[in-house]
């Protein structure tokens, strides 16, 4: 992995992955790609490209002699429900463009799937790697179809594409944009700024979550694993912690005792209810030694420490 392209580089994961790849994984050059201009600090090459435009994308791969793509550009679940056509176009055409362009080359691809591939009929507890999917959101449908497409390109064209099903990701550097699990990030900002938060899912809503540091290591480690270790070419279940919205609020209260959380569910409640509560990721743990580091207490402590510094700076 020398010359890496990160699509959706301005997004929640993309903005942090580039730093990690350079700092810890000895990647020579990271090129960012997004439909929007680069976010400051402007420290690396950045291409403004719409990923649905295949030829512009091809030009970037050739110009920078890319050997690995982290294809993160995507429309998330809540925004996808408001604009399903756009979600299909960006998520599916974007992925198919990437897979078509790397066919017949040695370029490796990481593409994130999500717990959104599961649906109301999937088991809610310890959801296995292979089970009923049946997603009911457009985002989940694109992830389900995307997983099958990745597997197809691996089987048929030997494209080395690897994937994990991310849970909700909690981070302090870049805010998430348009997901159902965004409440688990917003709550920290509001607890610090106003000591009150109105959560858009019920107190008992329980979803799988993960701290950003763990999510980034998962992406890098699945990509650095030997090809022989990767037995799943759709996407690996990936888990760290699961907690209810109330449990998260209570954990924050241990640090900010006068914090108060109200629960006023909106359309995102139905999406959350269609997803698993706890995921079984034993296949990823066995095949490429996946391990998470952060539990709820550690996530809460680090989020509050880092966000207090960040909010003071602004």
Return the number of the residue (97 or 171) whose C-beta is nearest ligand AKB: 171
Query: Rule CB under 6 A: which of 24-63 touch ligand AKB?
Result: none
- CB 181, min distance to ligand AKB, A: 4
Examine residue 144 and tell whether it contacts ligand AKB (CB under 6 A): no
Examine residue 166 and tell whether it contacts ligand AKB (CB under 6 A): yes
- CB 79, min distance to ligand AKB, A: 8
Structure token pair of residue 118:
């599961």
By CB under 6 A, name the one of 116, 161, 219, 261 that touches ligand AKB: 116
- CB 143, min distance to ligand AKB, A: 8
Return the number of the residue (32 or 135) whose C-beta is nearest ligand AKB: 135
- CB 271, min distance to ligand AKB, A: 8
By CB under 6 A, name the one of 15, 68, 114, 163 that touches ligand AKB: 114
Q: Which one of 139, 153, 172, 236 is the catalytic residue?
A: 139
- CB 77, min distance to ligand AKB, A: 3
* CA–CA dist 274, 153 (Å, integer): 29
- CB 175, min distance to ligand AKB, A: 12
Examine residue 215 and tell whether it contacts ligand AKB (CB under 6 A): no
- With contacts defined by CB under 6 A, name the span among 3-11, 114-122, 198-206, 226-234 that binds ligand AKB: 114-122
- CB 284, min distance to ligand AKB, A: 16
Residues with Cβ within 8 Å of residue 250, at least 6 apart in sequence: none
- Ranked by CB distance to ligand AKB, the top (closest) residue is 179
> Is 25 one of the catalytic residues?
no
Examine residue 200 and tell whether it contacts ligand AKB (CB under 6 A): no
Got the DSSP string for the chain?
--EEEEETTTSTTHHHHHHHHHHHS--SEEEEEESSPPPSS--S-EEE--TT-HHHHHHHHHHTT--EEEE-----HHHHHH-HHHHHIIIIIHHHHHHHHHTTS--EEE--EEGGG--TTS-SSSB-SSS-----SHHHHHHHHHHHHHHHHHHHH---EE-EEE-EEE-SSS---S-GGGHHHHHHHHHHHTSEEEESS-TT-EEEEEEHHHHHHHHHHHHHS-GGG---SS-EE--SEEEEHHHHHHHHHTTSTT-EEEE---THHHHHHTS-SSB--HHHHHHH-------HHHHHHHHHHHHHHHHHH-
Name residue 114's beta-bridge partners.
166
Return the number of the residue (32 or 112) whose C-beta is nearest ligand AKB: 112
- With contacts defined by CB under 6 A, name the span among 54-62, 88-96, 175-183, 303-311 that binds ligand AKB: 175-183
* Residue 129 dihedral angles phi and psi, to the nearest 5°: -55, -50
Structure token pair of residue 103:
């066919």
By CB under 6 A, name the one of 91, 127, 144, 180 that touches ligand AKB: 180
Examine residue 179 and tell whether it contacts ligand AKB (CB under 6 A): yes
Examine residue 90 and tell whether it contacts ligand AKB (CB under 6 A): no
Examine residue 68 and tell whether it contacts ligand AKB (CB under 6 A): no
Task: Provide the greatest CA pair distance for the chain.
Answer: 59
Examine residue 77 and tell whether it contacts ligand AKB (CB under 6 A): yes
* CA–CA dist 7, 46 (Å, integer): 10
> Which residue numbers are catalytic?
139
Residues within the interface to ligand AKB (CB under 6 A)? 76-77, 114-116, 139, 166, 168, 179-181
């Amino acid at each position: 992995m020398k010359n890496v392209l990160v699509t959706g580089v301005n997004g929640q994961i993309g903005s942090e992955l580039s730093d990690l790849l350079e700092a810890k994984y000895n990647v020579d050059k990271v090129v960012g790609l997004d439909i929007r201009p680069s976010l400051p600090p402007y420290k690396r090459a950045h291409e403004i490209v719409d990923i649905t435009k295949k030829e512009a994308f091809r030009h970037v791969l050739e110009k920078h002699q890319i050997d690995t793509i982290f294809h993160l550009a995507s429309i998330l679940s809540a925004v996808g429900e408001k604009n399903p056509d756009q979600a299909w176009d960006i998520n599916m055409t974007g992925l198919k463009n990437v897979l078509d362009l790397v066919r017949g080359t040695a370029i490796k691809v990481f593409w994130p799937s999500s717990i959104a591939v599961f649906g109301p009929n999937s088991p809610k507890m310890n959801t296995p790697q292979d089970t009923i999917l049946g997603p009911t959101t457009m985002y989940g449908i694109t992830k389900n179809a995307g997983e099958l497409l990745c597997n197809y390109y691996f089987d048929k064209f030997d494209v080395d594409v690897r994937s994990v099903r991310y849970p909700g990701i909690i981070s302090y550097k870049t805010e998430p944009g348009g997901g159902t699990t965004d409440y688990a990030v917003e709550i920290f900002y509001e607890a610090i700024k106003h000591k009150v938060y109105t959560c858009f899912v019920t107190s008992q809503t329980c979803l799988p979550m993960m701290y950003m540091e763990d999510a980034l290591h998962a992406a890098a480690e699945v990509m650095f694993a030997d090809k022989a270790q990767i037995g799943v070419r759709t996407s690996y279940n990936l888990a760290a912690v699961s907690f209810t919205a109330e449990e998260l609020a209570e954990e924050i209260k241990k640090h900010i005792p006068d914090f108060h959380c109200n629960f006023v569910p909106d359309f995102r409640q139905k999406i959350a209810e269609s997803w698993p509560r706890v995921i079984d990721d034993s296949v990823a743990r066995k095949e490429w030694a996946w391990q998470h580091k952060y539990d709820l207490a550690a996530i809460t402590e680090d989020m509050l420490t880092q966000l207090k510094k960040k909010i003071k700076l602004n």
